[in-house]
Amino acid sequence: MKQLNNLIKDIVNRITANLREPDMKVGEYVDGLIPHDSHSIYYAFYALTTEHPLSFQFTHSSLAGTYFLGKCEVELSVVYKSDIRGDELKKKGTVVKVNGADLELFQDERISIRHSFLVKTLVHNNSHDAENVEIFRILNTLSLHYANIHGTSVEGCYIAPFATVDLCTCRNCIVGDFSYVQAGDLSGERIEPGRIWIRQPGVFELNYQHDRNVLDKFISMDANKRPKGVFMDFCESHKADFEPVYNAAQPEISQEIPDTSFVSHYSVLKGDCAVGENVLVAQRAFIDNSRLGDGSNAQENCYIINSNYEGMNVTAHGGKVINCDLGRKTFTGFNSFLHGTEDARVKVGRNCVIMPHTIIDAVEAIEIPDGSLVWGYIRTQEDLKNNTIALEEFSKRNSLSLGRMSFTGDAEAFVNGFAHRIEHILEENGAYFDGSPETAGHAQKTQEVSYNTVQAYMGGEYKGLCPTMLIKPLTH
Amino acid sequence: MKQLNNLIKDIVNRITANLREPDMKVGEYVDGLIPHDSHSIYYAFYALTTEHPLSFQFTHSSLAGTYFLGKCEVELSVVYKSDIRGDELKKKGTVVKVNGADLELFQDERISIRHSFLVKTLVHNNSHDAENVEIFRILNTLSLHYANIHGTSVEGCYIAPFATVDLCTCRNCIVGDFSYVQAGDLSGERIEPGRIWIRQPGVFELNYQHDRNVLDKFISMDANKRPKGVFMDFCESHKADFEPVYNAAQPEISQEIPDTSFVSHYSVLKGDCAVGENVLVAQRAFIDNSRLGDGSNAQENCYIINSNYEGMNVTAHGGKVINCDLGRKTFTGFNSFLHGTEDARVKVGRNCVIMPHTIIDAVEAIEIPDGSLVWGYIRTQEDLKNNTIALEEFSKRNSLSLGRMSFTGDAEAFVNGFAHRIEHILEENGAYFDGSPETAGHAQKTQEVSYNTVQAYMGGEYKGLCPTMLIKPLTH
C-alpha cells in the first residue's frame, strides 16, 4: 500500500501545482475517495479485437475496474472504474487540417495518461490538440464521477462530476459539476457548475447556465467533497445489476441480438428488450425494458429504461432516458437526464437534438415536436417555450436569447455542425452498415472481441498497483 | 486461424526433426487434438504475488486455459490447459553445485518454452541442466495429457500422457505413457510405457515395469492417437465440477480455511472437507469429502476423495487418492492412483513412501504397515508381498528383485534421498510454518495472490493466438 499512497500524494501535488488555484484543495477531493482495498479487489480489463490498433503500456498505476480499448499508455496514475476507449483514435498517415496546415500522423494516435487521477471517467474520440495530433494527452488532471473527456487533451485540470469537455483542449482549467465545454483552446478557465458553453471562435457561441439551486438537487459536492444528488443516487441504484456481469469470467448476453449489432458483454440488458439491426450497446450501458430501433446506440454510462427508440438514435456517453419515446434520428447529448414517469412520459419527435447536459424531469406528459433543438431544464410542456426551438427556425438566426440560453453568431453553422456530427457518430457506430466493409462501424468491428483482465498486487508494498505491462499486437 | 494453423504445422515439423524417430508421426498426435475454437474460448491466467519473482513474456503463442506463476517466456508454442508454475525457480545469486563445480546464478531462473506443444502438462521445480542453470528449457517438445515436466529441461522430446520426467535432462527422448524417469542426463532414450526408472549414476538404479496388458486398461493410445482408459475417464468425470470455478471472474472458496493454509481459487473443495493448518491445495486440485491434516498438500491435478490425511502428507502432482486413509508423513508420488472403494478402503500407515506411478486398485480392504516403500500394481493384501518392503529393511540392501521391480546399488542412499526430498517438499510448501518468515512456504507465500487473465484473438487471421505481452514487476 505504501507505494500507492506515495503515488496518490504525488499526483495530488502535481495537479495542485498545475491547477494554479490556491483555493482548490485537491487532496480533499481525492483522499479516502477510493477505499484502499478497492484498488486491488476490482480488475481492469482490456479488449482484443482484430479491427482496432492495439497497444497498452501500464506503468506504476492503479487501474482498478477500468476498461481499455485501442492504444493507451498509463503511467503514475490512478484510473478507477473508468472507460478509456481508443476506437476513434486517428491512424498513422491520417492528414489533419489544423489552423490551415495539413498535419500527417507519423504514428497511430495513442491515449497517454500520466500523473492523473480519474474516477468513473469516460475517455473517448481523439486529440483535437494541434500540438499533439498523435497523442491524446491526459496529464496532471483530476477527473471525477461520470465526467467525459471526449476528444479533449487536458493538462493540469479538474473535471468535476458529470462534467464534459468535448473536442477542445484544456490547460489549467476547472470544469465545474455538470458543465459542458466545447469551446476551442482553453487555458486557465474556470467553468461554473451547470454551464453549457459551445463556441466556435469567430463563428458562434452558445451559453446556457443551469440554475444553481436546481442543479444542487441533481449534483453538487457535499461538505466532504463527495458528489451527491439525484444523478449519483440514480447511478448507485443500478449498481447491483452490474454485479453478475463483473463476477463472471466471460459474461454472456442472455437475449437474442442480430448479427449486425453488438451488445457489450459488460453491459446490462434486462426486462423485455428488443435490439434492432446495426445497434451498439457499449460496456457499462444499462438497458431495461426498452426497444432500440435499427441503427441506435447506447454509449458508456447510458441508462435506457422503459423507453422506445424508433431508430438511428444516438445516446451519447452518460445519457439517461427513462420513460421516453424518441423519434427517428433524435439525438440525446452527453449526460442528459430525460426523466419521464409512467404517468408523465416524455415523447420527443423525429430529428431532434437534445443538447448535452439537458435535464427533463417531467411532472406531466411532455411532447416535443419533430425537428426541435432542446436544452436546459424542462419539467412541463410549458417549459418547452424557453428550452426548445425548431432547428429550421433557429438556423436562420444570428442571435437568440431565450430563458437562460443565449446564442450569437451563425446559427446555421451551429445546426449544420450538429447535424454533421450526428451523421458522423451514426457512421462511426455502424448504424448504416449494409454488409460492406466501408459501412462497418463499432457495432460490427467489435463483434469478435475478447477481454483480458488485470488485477493489482493483493498485498505488500505495492498493494493496489498493477505490475508493469506491455501488450502489443501480433505481427508476422 | 491461419497463423495458428501455420504455427502448429511448424511446431510439428520442429518436434519431428528433433525427435529423430522416423516411426513417430507427431502430426497424428497433434492435428485436431484441440478443437479450433478452444484456443480462443479458454483464457490463460497468471498469478501476481508479492513473494515470487515475476516476469512473463508471451510471443506468438496459444495459451488457452493455462496457468502461469513466476518467471516464464513462451514463444511460438501451444500451451493448452497446462500449469507453468515457477515458484521453485532458483533466484539470482544462488550457487548450484554441478559435477563438482560451483555455478552462481547470474539472473533469476526462468522457464523458457519455445516451439513446443503442451497439453494439460504440469511444469514445476527448476532446471537440473548443468548447461543452463538460469533457464528451465522446454524446446521442440510435445507433451500430452497430465504429463509432468518436473525439474527437467526437455529438448526435442515426446512426453506421453501421464508420463513424468523428474529432476533430470532429456534430449531427443520418447517418454512413454505413464512412465516415470528420474535418471540423470538422458539423450535419445526410448522409455517404454509404464516403466519406472530411477537412477543415480554410480549410486543406485531402480526399475519397475508395469504389465502392458494391465496398463492398457488404465492408459493407452487409441487408433487415432488419443489417450483412453481409466485415468482419462476418471479425470473427465470430474471436469464439470471445475466449470463454476473457471466461469467466475474471481472464484471464491466456500469453506473455512485456516489463515496459515492456502486453497487455490482455481481448485475444487466440495462435500464435507476439513483443512488443517499449513495446508496447500494448488490450482486444479480436487478435494471431495476429505480431511487434510496439518501440513498436508495437494498439488496440481490431484484428486482426493473420501479420504483422510493424518497430517504432513504430500500428494505430488497428479496423485489420486480415493477412499484411503493415509498415516502421518506418508507420501504419495506423481500420478499415483490409489483407488479404494467404500467396501475396500486402502489404509496406509505412517511414514510410507508410495512411489511415483503406483497403482492400487483395491478389490478388498488393504492395509499397508508404517514405514513401507510401496510401488507397482496392487489389488489385494496379498499383492503387498511383491509391491512393498519396509524402508528400514530395504535401506540395508544393495540389491533387490521383487515381482516386476529390481534394484541395485546403495539402497540406504535411495531411502535417505527420498526422505530428504519429502522433507524438502514439506518445507517448500510451508508445512512447518511456525509464524516465522524462514518457515513460510507456498501455503503462506501464495496467500496474497491476484489473477490476471489472457484471452486470444477471437477472430481474424490471428484467431486463437494471444497478443504479444510483457509483464514485469514494479520497482521504484
Cα separation of A250 and B243, whole Å? 12
* Sign of the Cα pseudo-torsion (B169, B175, B180, B183, in order): negative
Q: How many helices (H) and strands (E) does chain A have?
A: 10, 51
Question: Between chains, do A467 and B469 touch, taking CB under 8 Å as contact?
Answer: no
Cα separation of A288 and B162, whole Å? 51
Beta-carbon contacts below 8 Å between A and B: 134
pLDDT at residue B205 greater than cutoff 70: yes
Question: Between chains, do A3 and B456 touch, taking CB under 8 Å as contact?
Answer: no
Average pLDDT, chain A: 96
pLDDT at residue A142 greater than cutoff 70: yes
DSSP 3-state of A202:
coil
Contacts of B474 in chain A (CB under 8 A): 3, 60, 457, 462, 465-468
Question: Between chains, do B50 and A457 touch, taking CB under 8 Å as contact?
Answer: yes
Contacts of B43 in chain A (CB under 8 A): 249-250, 450, 452
- Phi and psi based region of residue A112 (left: phi greater than 0; alpha: psi -120 to 50; beta: remaining): beta
Q: From the CA of B464, how many Å to the nearest CA of chain A?
A: 11
Closest Cα in chain A to B59 = A474
- Band of the pLDDT at B50, cuts 50, 70, 90? confident
Cα separation of B22 and B33, whole Å? 21
pLDDT at residue B475, rounded to an integer: 79
Superfamily of chain region A258-396+422-444: Hexapeptide repeat proteins (2.160.10.10)
Smallest Cβ–Cβ distance between B448 and the set A54, A460, A474 belongs to A460
Cβ contact A147:A122 at 8 Å? yes
Cα separation of B96 and B106, whole Å? 11
Mind listing the pLDDT tens digit for each residue in A340-392? 999 999 999 999 999 999 999 999 999 999 999 999 999 999 999 999 999 99
| Domain boundaries, given as residue ranges, for chain A | 2-234+448-471, 258-396+422-444
Mind listing the pLDDT tens digit for each residue in B54-82? 999 999 999 999 999 999 999 999 999 99
Cα separation of B51 and B106, whole Å? 20
Contacts of B459 in chain A (CB under 8 A): 49-50, 447-448
Q: Residue B95 burial by CB count (10 A; 0-12/13-18/19+): exposed, middle or buried?
A: exposed
Mind listing the pLDDT tens digit for each residue in A11-46? 999 999 999 888 899 999 999 999 999 999 999 999
Question: Between chains, do B448 and A454 touch, taking CB under 8 Å as contact?
Answer: no
- Band of the pLDDT at A55, cuts 50, 70, 90? very high
Most distant pair of Cα atoms in chain B: their distance: 65
Smallest Cβ–Cβ distance between A456 and the set B447, B450, B470 belongs to B450
What is the helix (H) or strand (E) element at residue A12, kind and residue range?
helix A2-19
A2-234+448-471 against A258-396+422-444: fold identical: yes
Cβ contact A155:A170 at 8 Å? yes
pLDDT at residue B114, rounded to an integer: 98
- Band of the pLDDT at A51, cuts 50, 70, 90? confident
Cα separation of A336 and A332, whole Å? 7
pLDDT at residue A119, rounded to an integer: 98
% of chain A surpassing 70 pLDDT: 100
- Band of the pLDDT at A476, cuts 50, 70, 90? low
pLDDT at residue A252, rounded to an integer: 87
Cα separation of B430 and B442, whole Å? 6
- Helix H segments across B20-60? 26-30, 38-41
pLDDT at residue B51, rounded to an integer: 86
Cα separation of A339 and A117, whole Å? 31
pLDDT at residue A226, rounded to an integer: 98
> Nearest 10 degrees: CA dihedral of A144, A149, A152, A155?
20
Cα separation of B109 and A263, whole Å? 44
Smallest Cβ–Cβ distance between A455 and the set B452, B455, B466 belongs to B452
Smallest Cβ–Cβ distance between A467 and the set B247, B456, B472 belongs to B472
> Mean pLDDT across the stretch B11-32?
93
Contacts of A250 in chain B (CB under 8 A): 43, 247
Contacts of B57 in chain A (CB under 8 A): none
Cα separation of B163 and B120, whole Å? 12
Contacts of B250 in chain A (CB under 8 A): 43, 247
Cα separation of B329 and B352, whole Å? 7
The CB-based long-range contact list for B308-312 (8 Å cut-off, 24+ gap) reads B310/B350, B311/B276, B312/B426, B312/B431
Cβ contact A327:A346 at 8 Å? no
Q: From the CA of A133, how many Å to the nearest CA of chain B?
A: 26
- Give how far Cα B287 sits from Cα of A272, B45, B219, B309, Å: 42, 22, 23, 12
Contacts of A68 (CB under 8 A, 6+ apart): A44, A45, A46, A47, A56, A84, A85, A86
User: Which residues of B lie closer than 8 Å to A, measured between beta carbons?
Assistant: 3, 40, 43, 48-50, 54, 60, 246-250, 447-463, 465-474, 476
Contacts of B452 in chain A (CB under 8 A): 43, 452-455
Choose the weakest-confidence range: A244-258, A333-347, A382-396, B424-438: A244-258
Contacts of A458 in chain B (CB under 8 A): 48-50, 448-450
Closest Cα in chain B to A43 = B452
- Which of B50, B58, B450 to probe by mutation at the A interface, max A CB count within 10 Å? B450
pLDDT at residue B409, rounded to an integer: 98
Superfamily of chain region A2-234+448-471: Hexapeptide repeat proteins (2.160.10.10)
Cβ contact A415:A391 at 8 Å? yes
Mind listing the pLDDT tens digit for each residue in B389-401? 999 999 999 999 9
Cα separation of A41 and A142, whole Å? 22
pLDDT at residue B342, rounded to an integer: 97
- Band of the pLDDT at A100, cuts 50, 70, 90? confident
CB atoms within 10 A of CB B254: 9
Burial A31-42, CB ≥16 within 10 A → b, else e:
eebbeeebbbbb
Q: From the CA of B146, how many Å to the nearest CA of chain A?
A: 25
Cβ contact A280:A298 at 8 Å? yes
Question: Between chains, do A457 and B60 touch, taking CB under 8 Å as contact?
Answer: no
Quickly list DSSP for A396-457. Answer: T-SEEEETTEEEEE-HHHHHHHHHHHHHHHHHHTTTT--SSGGG--HHHHTSSEEEEEE---
The C-alpha cell of B435 is what? Answer: 509464524
Angle at B315 between CA A458 and CA B130, to 5 degrees: 80
Cβ contact B464:B4 at 8 Å? yes
Q: From the CA of B463, how many Å to the nearest CA of chain A?
A: 8
Cα separation of B58 and B64, whole Å? 12
What is the topology classification, in CATH, of domain B251-393+411-444? UDP N-Acetylglucosamine Acyltransferase; domain 1 (2.160.10)
- Band of the pLDDT at B476, cuts 50, 70, 90? low
pLDDT at residue B59, rounded to an integer: 97
Question: Between chains, do A471 and B467 touch, taking CB under 8 Å as contact?
Answer: yes
Question: Between chains, do A469 and B470 touch, taking CB under 8 Å as contact?
Answer: yes
Mind listing the pLDDT tens digit for each residue in B99-116? 788 999 999 999 999 999
Contacts of A474 in chain B (CB under 8 A): 3, 60, 457, 462, 465-468
- Give how far Cα A392 sits from Cα of A411, A412, A416, Å: 10, 9, 10
Cβ contact A107:A91 at 8 Å? no
Contacts of B463 in chain A (CB under 8 A): 50, 448
Contacts of B266 in chain A (CB under 8 A): none
Prediction ipTM score: 0.90
Question: Distance between the two ends of chain B, CA-based, in angstroms?
Answer: 41
Nearest Cα residue to A466 out of A46, A33, A122, A123:
A46
- Band of the pLDDT at A98, cuts 50, 70, 90? confident
- Which of A41, A446, A453, A462 to probe by mutation at the B interface, max B CB count within 10 Å? A453
